[in-house]
Amino acid sequence: MLAAVLRNTGDQDLDVTDTIQINDPGPDDVIVKITHTGVCHSDVSAMNGTIPQPAPAVLGHEGAGIIEEVGENVTEVAVGDHVIVVWSPPCGGCKFCLDHSSPNLCMTLQFGSMMIPHFREGDVDVHAMAGAGTFAEKTLLPKQAVVKIDPDIPLDIASLIGCGVMTGAGAALNTAKVTPGSSVIVYGAGGVGIAAIQGARIAGAAEIVAVDLNDDKLDDARRFGATHAVKPEDVDGAKLEITGGDGFDYALECIGRPQTMRASYDAIRRGGTACIVGVGRAEEMVEFSAFELFFMEKTLVGSYYGGTDVRSDFHKLLRLYKQGKLDLEGMITRRIKIDEINPALEAVRKGEVIRQVIEF
Ligand code: NAD
Ligand code: ZN
């Protein structure tokens, strides 16, 4: 079958090939025919080693499709069901799923799913990015890694929920817990940042400031609910104008660079919350003064997959979409075919797009 494969970490391009086979499902697995998959910055990060990913691997982790085959123990979904792929599935039984109420942090299935090859090419094992591997006509997943949705939801729209939209909106709603009437600054207006802006808007933020290097992104941000949209050098002016210089109640960092993580912390007021959504490299460091941590009493919090319980949150986001409160259609900059993946990855590197969706 057709798939886009990362041959070696550091490669600039993926290899689009029809030589990949899918492994047989185990008793608790499903095979999903991928109809649509979004291209996320994390795919670029898996290529350049920012996100560790064994190679060769089928990349892609933001997908939706139709169940094609189920293992003998699977009763939760059936052949023909429409599903969204989950890249960090909750096992449902561990301490993170139950005691800590953080099913997004469950690693029981994710690590196994990342390390066990899902595909092969001849007799060579081929991995699946984040255990998902959606840049392929089909993928093999544990049953907990799919969420069944109504068949009337367009699957291109649904695919976006699988990563970028859940991550950004969830960071605002679940992790930072943006409150009505608050002031919010969002760094980065890509797919994740635009979803964070929409999450802040849904939460009732009074002011939402988008920050991006790219002028087109600033226009996009206003379209999705940003009340102000500025270049990084104009953040201090916006902070003065909106907060009298105190700083914003919330910052959501949706880029993944040490400088913008630090800038997010600096942009919030004493007692505010800076939520880090972007993914930087393991060896990159962010510095804090040993005095300011106590003195400023700021909350610095990471957000992994938008702090989601996918089993309920995916449906909540789709209801917001159906009511016209979450614009997903407008987030699709381009619809492309799998053989256009390399220019699409280049557009992500340049920050030119919100989301590009591959249609199989
Ligand atoms: P993207 O490339 O679509 O968007 C990034 C945006 O940031 C672009 O618009 C770009 O112009 C802008 N930008 C880049 N450098 C900038 C700078 N110095 N100052 C201001 N703006 C700048 O990326 P995305 O798909 O939206 O993903 C954003 C980040 O979120 C990535 O790091 C990705 O890996 C991460 N991510 C995290 C999770 C999670 O679970 N926390 C999940 C998915 C993605
Ligand atoms: Zn992603």
Each residue's pLDDT tens digit, 6-60: 999 999 999 999 999 999 999 999 999 999 999 999 999 999 999 999 999 999 9
Mean pLDDT of the chain: 97
Eight-class DSSP state of 101: S
What tokens appear for 287 in the block?
Answer: 């510095």
Number of other residues whose CB lies within 10 A of the CB of residue 152: 7
Atom of ligand 1 nearest to the CA of 279: 32
Residues 6+ apart with CB under 8 A from 85: 32, 34, 61, 62, 63, 64, 65, 132, 134, 139, 141, 145, 146, 159, 162
Chain-centre distance for alpha carbon 119: 23
Atom of ligand 1 nearest to the CA of 277: 41
Atom of ligand 1 nearest to the CA of 188: 7
Atom of ligand 1 nearest to the CA of 193: 26
From the CA of 62, which ligand is nearest? 2
Ligand 1 pocket residues where CB is under 6 Å: 40-42, 45, 163-164, 167, 187-193, 211-214, 217, 232, 254-257, 260, 277-279, 303-305, 348, 351
Residue 114 pLDDT exceeds 90: no
Using alpha carbons, list the distances in angstroms from residue 14 to 105, 133, 295, 345: 29, 13, 48, 9
Expressed in angstroms and rounded, the spacing between residue 67 Cα and the centre of ligand 1 is 31
With bands split at pLDDT 50, 70 and 90, how would you rate the model's confidence at 110?
confident
Q: Which of 40, 167, 185, 255 to mutate for ligand 1's pocket (most ligand atoms within 8 Å of CB)?
A: 255
Tell me: the pLDDT tens digits for 190-247? 999 999 999 999 999 999 999 999 999 999 999 999 999 999 999 999 999 999 999 9
Most confident of 52-56, 91-95, 182-186: 182-186
Residue 111 pLDDT exceeds 90: no
Residue 113 pLDDT exceeds 90: no
Scanning 244-284, the segments in alpha helix (DSSP H) are 258-267
pLDDT on residue 277? 98
Expressed in angstroms and rounded, the spacing between residue 318 Cα and the centre of ligand 2 is 18
Across 2-152, the runs of DSSP E, i.e. the strands, are: 3-6, 15-17, 21-22, 29-39, 57-58, 62-70, 82-85, 119-121, 124-128, 138-142, 146-149
Residue 82 pLDDT exceeds 80: yes
Q: Which of 42, 217, 231, 354 to mutate for ligand 1's pocket (most ligand atoms within 8 Å of CB)?
A: 42
CA atoms of 351 and 262, how far apart (whole Å): 20
Span 65-77, average pLDDT:
98
Expressed in angstroms and rounded, the spacing between residue 335 Cα and the centre of ligand 1 is 20
Q: Which of 43, 254, 257 to mutate for ligand 1's pocket (most ligand atoms within 8 Å of CB)?
A: 254
Expressed in angstroms and rounded, the spacing between residue 301 Cα and the centre of ligand 1 is 17
Chain-centre distance for alpha carbon 121: 28
pLDDT on residue 225? 98
Expressed in angstroms and rounded, the spacing between residue 212 Cα and the centre of ligand 1 is 10
Atom of ligand 1 nearest to the CA of 42: 34
Using alpha carbons, list the distances in angstroms from residue 204 to 106, 140, 207, 287, 323: 30, 39, 9, 32, 16
Expressed in angstroms and rounded, the spacing between residue 219 Cα and the centre of ligand 1 is 17
Tell me: the pLDDT tens digits for 128-165? 999 999 999 999 999 999 999 999 999 999 999 999 99
From the CA of 193, which ligand is nearest? 1
pLDDT on residue 207? 98
Nearest-CA residue for atom 34 of ligand 1: 42
What tokens appear for 233 in the block?
Answer: 């050098």
Span 77-94, average pLDDT:
96
Residue 331 pLDDT exceeds 90: yes
Determine the angle formed by the axes of helices 215-223 and 191-203, rounding to 10 degrees.
Answer: 30
Residue 263 pLDDT exceeds 80: yes
pLDDT on residue 276? 98
For 358: left if phi > 0, alpha if psi spans -120 to 50, otherwise beta; the answer is beta
